[in-house]
Structure 1
Amino acid sequence: MTFKELSKGQINLIKALINQKNYRKRKGLFIIEGLRATQEAINSDYAVEFIVLSDDFVKKYGGKFPGFGNVKVYKITQNLFKTLSDTKTPQGIMAVVRMKKFEIANFYEGNFLVVALDGIKDPGNMGTIIRTADAAGASGILAGKGCVDVYNPKVIRSTMGSIFHLPVVEEIDLQRVLEELSIKGAKIVVTSLGAKKSYLDADYTSPVVIVFGSEAEGVSKEILNMPSEQVKIPLFGKAESLNVAVACGILLYEAARQRRALFPL
């Protein structure tokens, strides 16, 4: 394989994409790192602009690389790669990927199961929620204004490639969108520590949106005051609450269980 030379402009592009949210949004590009994530991107319908390999990565694979298709591939020194990488122990492969534009209307189709996020701030939680929603067969994710940037490198890394499997619409007016979905027949299920109803007693088999709130404050009062079904996960030990990504997994797999029982594959 013949490698191209990475220009100073491309090096600066990578640095800015890793560190600057506004730059990512303006350019419509984001960075992924790791072989698995790169392969997921190439096999998806996302556009991969180019791939960067370290010379150590090239030596490791001896010129026999997993299929990169017609994507441009650049090789740089291991030392330079480390200065660009956002990880402590980089694998030696990263890619620049173009964002996709998803419309909220896409969520109105069929018997959807949508995850709505209100003020999720932690990149690890956001990435894990996306990965969990993918695993549980959710239709997509709605991330309200105030959530962490979905294309933050730490979020992307935590998704383990699931960012390429389901639509994520971010920076939306979540209350307004939930009202729209409710008018179109969706059940709105809101997680709340103050709820009296267990999540096990809710019905998730019809079109449903499950709302999860911020790590510190939970779902906002504005959304809690909307017509909805409020549920909680019972706590049997001394912990005051569950991590939001864990809570998401519990509810989504209950929803998946009910749906598989009613609509087996």
Structure 2
Amino acid sequence: MLIDSASNKKIKLMESLRLRKHRAKEGLFRIEGVRLSEMVAASGWAIRFGLYTAELVEKERGRALVEALQAKCPLYEIGAALAKKVAATDTPQGIFLVAEQQKKSLPQMAEHLQQAAARKPLLVVLDGVQDPGNAGTIIRTADAVGADGVILTKGSVDVFSDKTVRATMGSLFHLPVVTDVSAEEVATFAQAAGCQLLATALDEQAKPHFAVDFGKGSLIAFGNEGGGVSEELLAAAEKVYIPMYGEAESLNVGVSSAVVLYEAVRQRHFA
């Protein structure tokens, strides 16, 4: 079916989902681009509908993607002008999807850990991280190290924003995610799960991340780009820091997450 009007309800919905308030209201989000669309098509995530251009199906990869998506959701063809209108990128690839958000509560995360028989869970906490690129990078890194899930505290970036989704490079579709929880809820969850709660901090009481026993079940919190981990979470956590010997004041939070999480990998898999 062809959509050729900018006033079409599906075009209007696709555009509205650029805003967080509409994503929250509808429980939906946007996916744009061939690779991300391929990944969500291969996942168990529900897709409401998709828009594609004739140019997409001129290529073998595009045709294969459309065929895979047709088994999962309604698809509608749009012209180049509408594709530019709904795109969030400067060079759209001719495929746009609306998918249902998948989020877990903390009790559901606990159940997930039990079902996965995760005796030594490894979870990543984003505490007030607000940059979509950083958040997406951390989620992607958490996926790479085999973490069991990601928790975002209140005040963190919307994990379903266009930029965050793109920055995860599809890892969003692999990891259970909990959003909008308080520092107190994180601490309570860690205790109930039998995990140590760790937080990165430049603090005299902090110890080098090399000295932490990551063989234990662990929740590792990474903080806001400007203010770091919140005082509420720091009060409940064991503080760790990454040693630095040059003139740099600090590391980007995305880089910090990779450094700490791969120390956990080293201890768990190469000790």
Per-residue CA deviations over 1:116-140 (Å, capped at 9, x if unaligned) read 1111010110111111110111111
1:1-265 matched pairs, under 5 angstroms: 3-5=1-3, 8-18=8-18, 20-61=19-60, 64-66=63-65, 67-70=68-71, 71-108=73-110, 109=113, 110=118, 111-195=120-204, 196-226=206-236, 228-261=237-270
SS of match in other structure, 2:150:
strand
CA contact (8 A) 1:107 1:114 kept: no
CA contact (8 A) 1:191 1:211 kept: yes
TM-score between the two structures when normalised by the length of structure 1: 0.92
Structure 1 distance, partners of 2:155, 2:164, is 15
Displacement after TM superposition at 1:60 (Å)? 3.7
Off by >6 Å, runs of 4+ in structure 1: none
SS of match in other structure, 1:156:
helix
- Root-mean-square deviation (CA, aligned residues, Å) is 1.7
Structure 2 distance, partners of 1:49, 1:258, is 42
Identity %: 40
Unaligned runs of 5+ in 2: none
Structure 1 distance, partners of 2:47, 2:78, is 18
CA contact (8 A) 1:142 1:174 kept: no
Q: CA, structure 1 residues 63+246, in 2 after alignment: closer, same or farther (shift >3 Å)?
A: closer
Structure 1 distance, partners of 2:61, 2:145, is 38
Unaligned runs of 5+ in 1: none
**Amino acid in the other structure paired with 2:17:** L
Per-residue CA deviations over 1:126-155 (Å, capped at 9, x if unaligned) read 111111110111111110000011101000
SS of match in other structure, 2:17:
helix
Q: CA, structure 1 residues 63+45, in 2 after alignment: closer, same or farther (shift >3 Å)?
A: closer
